[in-house]
Amino acid sequence: HSLSFDSKQFPITDSFLNECLRMYPPIWIISREALTHTKIGDDIIRQGTEIVFLPYFLHRDTRYWKDPEVFDPSRFSQKKSYPAFLPFGGGPRVCVGSQMAFRQSRMILGRVLHSFEFFSSPGQEVPEPLFTLRPKHGAKVILKKLKT
């Protein structure tokens, strides 16, 4: 039989996933071309200029996140908007697979957490920036089977 995991039933799972996505956004770099001359603050961005934006650094900016280097899923415990949270990009060009990826992750994590306790393996803090951000040497974790 199948189980359904949605945010109403599993808010802690969603908070955990959002915090993982904040710390290691799969879309870690975004580039866009300015369609018109634009002024941002005192700077003029000329039409045709390529603009590179890094959600990875936005997600670690102390102007938007308290203790951004600390893994704290509780920061997503309230249902509110987080404008400085763009793990899949944003706006009209947001990743089309973001909702599917989140739902699949929620389902898999929800099922696995019923059977195992997770521990991080030492030395796992090295992300590799390819097309998406991923662990350089794989995600090595220690699993301990829960007593049923």
Q: How many CA atoms lie within 13 A of 59 on its CB side?
A: 26
Is residue 3 predicted with pLDDT exceeding 60? Answer: no
Q: Which of 53, 17, 21, 15 is nearest to 34 (CA)?
A: 53
Q: Which of 17, 51, 47, 24 is nearest to 35 (CA)?
A: 47
Region 101-129: what's the mean pLDDT? 78
Residue 7's pLDDT is 45
Residue 13's pLDDT is 83
CA distances from 10 to 7, 13, 16, 107 (A): 5, 5, 10, 10
Q: Which residues, in sequence order, are CB contacts of 10 under 8 Å at separation 6+?
A: 106, 110
pLDDT band of 8, cuts 50, 70, 90 = low
Q: Count the Cβ atoms, other than its own, within 10 Å of residue 125.
A: 10
Catalogue the E-assigned strands of 1-148: 30-33, 38-40, 43-45, 50-53, 116-120, 127-129, 133-135, 141-145
CA-CA distance, 35 to 60, in Å (whole number)? 28
3-state secondary structure of 71: coil
Region 40-61: what's the mean pLDDT? 94
Q: Which residue, chain included where needed, has tokens 């393996």?
A: 121
Q: What is the mean pLDDT of the chain?
A: 84
- pLDDT per position as a tens digit, 85-98: 999 988 888 889 99
Cα-flanking dihedrals φ and ψ of residue 124, to 5°? -100, 20
Residue 129's pLDDT is 73
Residue 122's pLDDT is 73
pLDDT band of 125, cuts 50, 70, 90 = low
The pTM score is 0.76
Is residue 84 predicted with pLDDT exceeding 90? Answer: yes
Residue 134's pLDDT is 76
